[in-house]
Amino acid sequence: MPIQQIEPRRLYRQIADQLRSLIERGEFPVGKRLPAERDLAVQLGVSRPSVREALIALEVEGFVEVRMGSGIYVRDVSDMSATDRARAASVMAESPLDVIRARQTIEGEMAATAARRCTPALLQSLDAAIDMMVEEAGSGQIPARGDRLFHLRISEAAENTVLVRLVAELFDERQNPLWAQFGNHFENAQSWHAAIAEHRAVVDAIASCSPDAARAAMCEHLELSHQRFYAAWPAASDASRAAVASLKETS
C-alpha cells in the first residue's frame, strides 16, 4: 500500500466522527435525543464549544436535527447512500470559534496600526462600509459585504498585502457550510444591530489615534461575536425562525 499523507484532524471533527459512529451503531437510536451539550462535553473530556461545533457539523451532514428549545435529535439516514454518507462526513471546515480567536489576535493589531496611521480618507471609507452594512441589514440581508469591506479597509492601513490577504481569507471562512449553519442558529437582526454598533465603536477608537483604544475596541467586537456564537440555543419560536429564514433567502 502506498504511503498516504497524514492530515491533522480538527477537534470538532474528531468529536463528530465519534458521535456519528455511535449513531450508526445504534447507540443513539433514530428519533431519540442526544445527551445535553454539557453532558457530552464531560463524557468526551472536551470543551462545550467544541461539542457545539461537532453537533452543528453533524446537522450539516444530516445525521441530527436541532430542535430549538428542545434538544438535538438523531435523524433517519437510512435512505442516504454510502457514497453520500462518506461525502458528508468528509466535509471539512475551519472551526468558526477558532477563526474568530485568530481574527481577534490579528485584527486587534491591524486596528492599532490603523489608529497610528489614521487619516480622514480612512475614516470616510470605514463610515461608508458601515453605511453599507446598515443598508444591507435594513433591506433584510446579512450585512456581509459591508462587514467584509470594513475589516479589509482597516487591514489595508498596514500597507502589507500578506496581512490584507490573511484578513480576507479568515473573513471568507464565513462561506463554509459549518459557519453558515452557525449563522442560521445565532445570527439575527438583533445581533447584526449590535455588531454595527461595535463597528462604530472601532471607528471612534481609530479616530482617537489611540492604538490601545483601537486594539481594545476591535478585540471587544470579536469577543462579543464569539459570545454570540456560543450563546444559549435560541428559543423555539416558529415566527422568529421564519423571520430569519426570510432574511437569509433575500441575501
Q: pLDDT class for 2, splitting at 50, 70, 90?
A: low
Residues 6+ apart with CB under 8 A from 41: 47, 48, 50, 51
94-129 confidence digits (pLDDT tens): 889 999 999 999 999 999 999 999 999 999 999 999
Residue with C-alpha cell 467584509? Answer: 148
Mean pLDDT over all residues of the chain?
86
Choose the CATH number for 11-89 among 1.10.150.20, 1.10.3720.10, 1.10.10.10, 3.10.20.30.
Answer: 1.10.10.10
Model pLDDT, residue 248: 38
Fold of the CATH domain 96-249: Four Helix Bundle (Hemerythrin (Met), subunit A) (1.20.120)
Taking Cα atoms as reference points, which of 215, 183, 221 lies closest to residue 200? 221
- Predicted confidence (pLDDT) at residue 245 exceeds the cutoff of 90: no
Rounded CA-CA distance 151/141 in Å is 18
Model pLDDT, residue 243: 34
Torsion angle, CA of 74/80/83/87, rounded to 10 degrees? -50
- Predicted confidence (pLDDT) at residue 50 exceeds the cutoff of 50: yes
Where in the sequence of the chain do the CATH 1.10.10.10 domains occur? 11-89
Where in the sequence of the chain do the CATH 1.20.120.530 domains occur? 96-249
Model pLDDT, residue 183: 87
163-222 confidence digits (pLDDT tens): 999 999 999 998 888 888 888 888 889 999 999 999 999 999 999 999 999 999 999 999
- Most confident stretch, 27-41, 195-209, 220-234: 195-209
- Predicted confidence (pLDDT) at residue 5 exceeds the cutoff of 60: no
Q: pLDDT class for 233, splitting at 50, 70, 90?
A: confident
Rounded CA-CA distance 233/186 in Å is 8
Rounded CA-CA distance 18/116 in Å is 48
